[in-house]
Amino acid sequence: MTNPAPQITSPFPAATADQWRSLVEKTLKDAPFESLRKATPEGLAIEPLYEAPDNAPVLATRPYDVERPWDLRVATTHPDPAAARNQLIRDLEGGAASVLVRLDPTGQAGVAVGSPEALAKALDGVLVELASVALDAGFLGPKAADWLSAFAKSAPNAVLAFHMDPLSAFAEAGESPGPVESHLVSAATVGARLAEIYPKATLFLASGRVVHEAGGGEAGELAFAIASAIAYAKAAVVAGMSMEDAFSRIVLGLSADVDYFLTIAKLRAARLLWAQVTAACGVSVPARIEARSSARMLAAQDAWTNMLRLTSAAFGASVGGADAVVLGAFTDPLGPPTAFARRQSRNTQLVLMEEAHLGRVADPAAGAGYVETLTDEIARAAWTQVQAIEAKGGLINALAAGLVADEVAKVVAARDPKPRIVGVTAFPPTQQAPVEVERVTPKAVDAPSPRLPGPDGHCPPLRPIRLAQAHEAAQ
């Protein structure tokens, strides 16, 4: 009998933190060890080494589905409803699971829809019992919700995401057509009525993306989302819904950025805070998260590198446990995407889902010292901001008082004035590779006014930025 082969996988002696530090200090030469410590723009510490946590929390994760671990959602903003419809049908045939339609009667920032007939034209051929349909309609949200309801024809199995979110529209524009409180009441009233017709539908999108796109940090974005959820739940209860039904009809909206560690930790922190808020309200409802790729991270210069950023964002969103993921196109800073650009965004998710198998492990980042610590830090910082918002009387008052805008301004001021952006400030190309975009001519359509009786609401606006823009303009 031959001797067994040597075990090359025999355990090595465990290395200690002191041993690691001793080796690292040799490579630092004259630089202090503290030079390895970093911080996020919000001031959250990032250490060079983390140990495994002793008591990491067990997070509730999205429902496990081996065939479709998360909802691959595609968006359209094409101004022509017929062209938008063709994009969505092509994406669904190519592997997408649901669609998001952004409405804008002017045609400048979304599909030019101003009536139920126009929305039906944009969704013609989409089977709402099989493919979820989500909206993004700003102050027109309640009216658009009724248009979508008409398209679904009261089918009880329709999987609809009405995504009413007047608070984000107010925060970005800095004003509302009529009192923003009235828009909140209108959304809740329409939502309560539609909830009885569509038991599988969600009503509100409590999104913090407006903070992210304006340059804010992870904790600020998460705080805005949680404060929005609280406001929508309160309004829904006043409109006649139970507390449990109100929270079950809310989706959290967050951004997925190029730094996938921050994205993973932020989404995990969102579930921690959601559990804390719902428990305080006496209900037990799992969080549902829709993650959309960051627009501010994309660059117009050397736009092909945006594919890497979008892949990182999709990775972070999927590992972080997003229930639905929406990826933009790599050409977005230059113009509307072609069929090729849309296919790249769609297939990025399909590869991560079906070839990299990212959805086969529930909460794969659990137990990692860095991610667990960062999750805790973001959650605590966000909760402090939520408390400050509620102390002002809620999100509307906090926006009007400038509390949210001030926090965003602090983070923007703390950002590196020359961030390392591949293709822009790092490794810029000597010659730009051509990028094709679709040429469209927006055409405005008539639409009902979103104005409600009473004085307009006002707050410091959270205008979206693009981090590479200033550096691209200097080229």
Secondary structure class of 5 (helix, strand, coil): coil
Which two three-digit tokens encode residue 296? Answer: 């501010």
**Crossing angle between the packed helical segments 166-173 and 218-238, to the nearest 10 degrees:** 130
364 pLDDT exceeds 60? Answer: yes
Please report, for residues 75, 271, 304, the alpha-carbon distance to residue 132 in angstroms, rounded to integers and kept in the order given.
12, 22, 30
| Residue in the block written with tokens 């001030």 | 406
Average pLDDT over residues 236-255: 98
Q: Is 282 left (phi over 0), alpha (psi -120 to 50) or beta?
A: left
Task: pLDDT band for 470, please (50, 70, 90 cuts).
Answer: low
Average pLDDT over residues 94-112: 97
CA 121 to chain centre: 27
264 pLDDT exceeds 70? Answer: yes
How confident is the model at residue 1, as a pLDDT?
47
| Residue 448 neighbours by CB distance under 10 Å | 10
Average pLDDT over residues 115-126: 97
46 forms bridges with which residues in the sheet? Answer: 38
Which two three-digit tokens encode residue 267? Answer: 């989404």
Looking at residue 238, the DSSP 8-state letter turns out to be H
Do residues 109 and 102 lie in contact, with contact meaning Cβ atoms separated by under 8 Å? yes
Distance CA 369, CA 171 (A): 35
Q: Is 38 left (phi over 0), alpha (psi -120 to 50) or beta?
A: beta
Q: What is the pTM of this model?
A: 0.94
Distance CA 61, CA 58 (A): 9
Distance CA 272, CA 405 (A): 25
CA 475 to chain centre: 30
64 pLDDT exceeds 80? Answer: no
| Residue 300 neighbours by CB distance under 10 Å | 21
448 pLDDT exceeds 60? Answer: yes
Distance CA 318, CA 351 (A): 12
Task: pLDDT band for 6, please (50, 70, 90 cuts).
Answer: low
How confident is the model at residue 161, as a pLDDT?
98
311 pLDDT exceeds 60? Answer: yes
In this predicted model, what pLDDT tens digit does every residue of 157-197 receive, in sequence order?
Answer: 999 999 999 999 999 999 999 999 999 999 999 999 999 99
Do residues 251 and 204 lie in contact, with contact meaning Cβ atoms separated by under 8 Å? yes
In this predicted model, what pLDDT tens digit does every residue of 137-163 receive, in sequence order?
Answer: 999 999 999 999 999 999 999 999 999
Distance CA 383, CA 16 (A): 34
Which two three-digit tokens encode residue 474? Answer: 């200097």
Distance CA 234, CA 206 (A): 13
How confident is the model at residue 4, as a pLDDT?
54
In one-letter notation, the amino acid at residue 243 is M
Distance CA 469, CA 331 (A): 14
Which two three-digit tokens encode residue 219? Answer: 């904790």
The 10 Å CB-count burial string (b at 16+, else e) for 410-421 is ebeeeeeeeeeb
Secondary structure class of 225 (helix, strand, coil): helix
Do residues 300 and 262 lie in contact, with contact meaning Cβ atoms separated by under 8 Å? no
426 forms bridges with which residues in the sheet? Answer: 422
30 forms bridges with which residues in the sheet? Answer: none
Task: pLDDT band for 312, please (50, 70, 90 cuts).
Answer: very high
Do residues 465 and 178 lie in contact, with contact meaning Cβ atoms separated by under 8 Å? no
Average pLDDT over residues 363-372: 92
User: Among positive and negative, which fits the CA dihedral 276, 184, 192, 450?
Assistant: negative
Task: pLDDT band for 7, please (50, 70, 90 cuts).
Answer: low
Average pLDDT over residues 308-328: 97
Task: pLDDT band for 350, please (50, 70, 90 cuts).
Answer: very high
The terminus-to-terminus CA distance of the chain in angstroms comes to 73
